[in-house]
Amino acid sequence: MTIKIGLFGTGGFGKMHADLLSAMDGVEISAICGSSQQKAESMARDYPNARGYGSVTEMLDDRRLDAAYVCVPPFAHAHIEESLVQRDIPFFVEKPLAADLETPTRIRKAVEEKKLLTSVGYHFRYMDGTARAQQLLEDRTVGMAIGYMMGNMPGVYWWRKQEGSGGQFVEQTTHIVDLLRYLLGDVDEVYAAFAGRFMHTKEDGVEVPDVGTVTLKMKSGAVATISNTCMLPMGHTAGLHVYTDTGVLEVSGTGLKEFAAGRTTEYASRSNPYELENKAFIHALRTGDASGILSTYSDAWRSQQAATAASLSASTNRPIKLQD
């Protein structure tokens, strides 16, 4: 049986997922929907049997899909997912779930009511280093963690608008928030300080802060801070350091470093986490076994909740306690 996939979004992540999926046995890119018919048709030419569309409804009416991939900017979420839920079409969605919390809260409720299969692209969860860190933390006491996402500002117009991206902490640093939750459990309370220090003087139309630090109280009793900046002239670094009773674990995109008294051990991440998350989703579609999916929509909603709470805290200058 060939699994027919519909793709929403013609940007870099949409192309990356389409290439990985089309290389899998028994998987076909059947339809692509873009912000314009021209963009969708241009991308569709790269995949045999794919058609391009400029309308969500037109594509879903015209093609019988087994699943969909939603790879659109934060502001573009809502109508796509709601349409998929209404038609009982399982979907994979790239992070973040939206620029706000209200949109994914509404979608989460609908997904849970339909018991729809979903997966979210928090790829840090699929890294070899993350899996090893999770194993090592099973018998350790975590005291605190320090996360970071340091780099430059993407050039796309919507990223600079608060309503377009939600800001760096929601659009990018959500990866570190989610990694923190995956390894240390859920967040209880956040307090944030954000500022616009430089980028608004360099680029037109910048509304989002370019530096920020967030303090997080975890439900386990541990504490954490996550800092980010997008004012650098280059991409720099991202990761999470976890401090425990036996030493330090440093998780990054390249792997894991374990620091203990008298020794340092490195574990390289050799697997492609994007391939792993796609294989897990396709396997779940084929078999009904969703155990390999490490981030469902409902779980990812909690990372979105923590990230948007940080933005609210920064704008109101008060701590925000997360509600269950």
CATH number of domain containing 223: 3.30.360.10
160 and 227 belong to one structural domain: yes
Contacts of 279 by beta carbon, 8 Å cutoff, 6+ apart: 24, 292
Are residue 215 and residue 316 in the same domain, yes or no? yes
Q: Identify whether residues 107 and 188 lie together within a single domain.
A: no
Q: Is 232 found in the same domain as 281?
A: no
Q: What percent of the chain has pLDDT over 70?
A: 100
In degrees, rounded to 5, the angle at the alpha carbon of residue 123 between the alpha carbons of residues 159 and 219 is: 90
Helix (H) or strand (E) holding 209: none
* Host domain of residue 192: 128-269+304-321
Q: Which residues, other chains included, contact 32 with Cβ-Cβ below 8 Å and sequence gap of 6+?
A: 6, 7, 8, 10, 14, 18, 40, 43, 44, 47, 50, 51, 52, 53
What integer pLDDT is reported at residue 87 of this predicted model?
98
The encoded tokens of residue 75 equal 């502001």
Residues 167 and 64 in one domain: no
Task: Answer whether residue 82 shows pLDDT above 90.
Answer: yes
Residues 175 and 133 in one domain: yes
In this structure, are 136 and 233 located in the same domain? Answer: yes
3-state secondary structure (DSSP) of residue 5? strand
pLDDT digits (tens, 9 = 90+) for 203-237: 999 999 999 999 999 999 999 999 999 999 999 99
Q: Are 75 and 51 in contact (CB under 8 A)?
A: no
| pLDDT above 90 (res 1) | no
Task: Please state, as a whole number, how many other Cβ atoms lie within 10 Å of the Cβ of residue 142.
Answer: 20
CA atoms lying within 13 Å on the CB side of residue 301:
20
Given a contact cutoff of 8 angstroms between Cβ atoms, the answer to whether 208 and 160 are in contact is: yes
How far apart, in Å, are the Cα atoms of 194 and each of 100, 178, 315?
A: 17, 19, 8
Asked whether residue 116 falls in the same domain as residue 203, the answer is: no
Q: Are residues 85 and 24 in the same domain?
A: yes
pLDDT digit string (tens) for 248-283? 999 999 999 999 999 999 999 999 999 999 999 999
Asked whether residue 149 falls in the same domain as residue 260, the answer is yes
**According to the model, what pLDDT value does residue 324 have?**
82
Average pLDDT over residues 42-57: 97
Contact 244, 221 (CB under 8 A): no
Task: Give the number of residues written for the chain.
Answer: 324
**Residues linked to residue 249 through DSSP beta bridges, in sequence order:** 242, 258
| H-only helix segments in 33-189 | 37-44, 56-62, 79-86, 102-114, 128-137, 162-165, 168-171, 174-184
Alpha-helix runs per DSSP H in 115-212? 128-137, 162-165, 168-171, 174-184, 199-202
Residues 104 and 195 in one domain: no
Q: What is the pLDDT of residues 183-192, one digit of tens each?
A: 999 999 999 9
> What is the total count of domains within the chain?
2
- Shared domain for 152 and 289, answered yes or no, is no
Burial of 76 (0-12, 13-18, 19+ CB in 10 A): middle
Q: How confident is the model at residue 163 (pLDDT cuts 50, 70, 90)?
A: very high
Residue 173 three-state SS: coil
pTM for the predicted model, two decimal places:
0.97
Which residue type, as a one-letter code, is found at position 91?
Answer: F
Check which CATH number belongs to the domain holding 49 and give it. 3.40.50.720
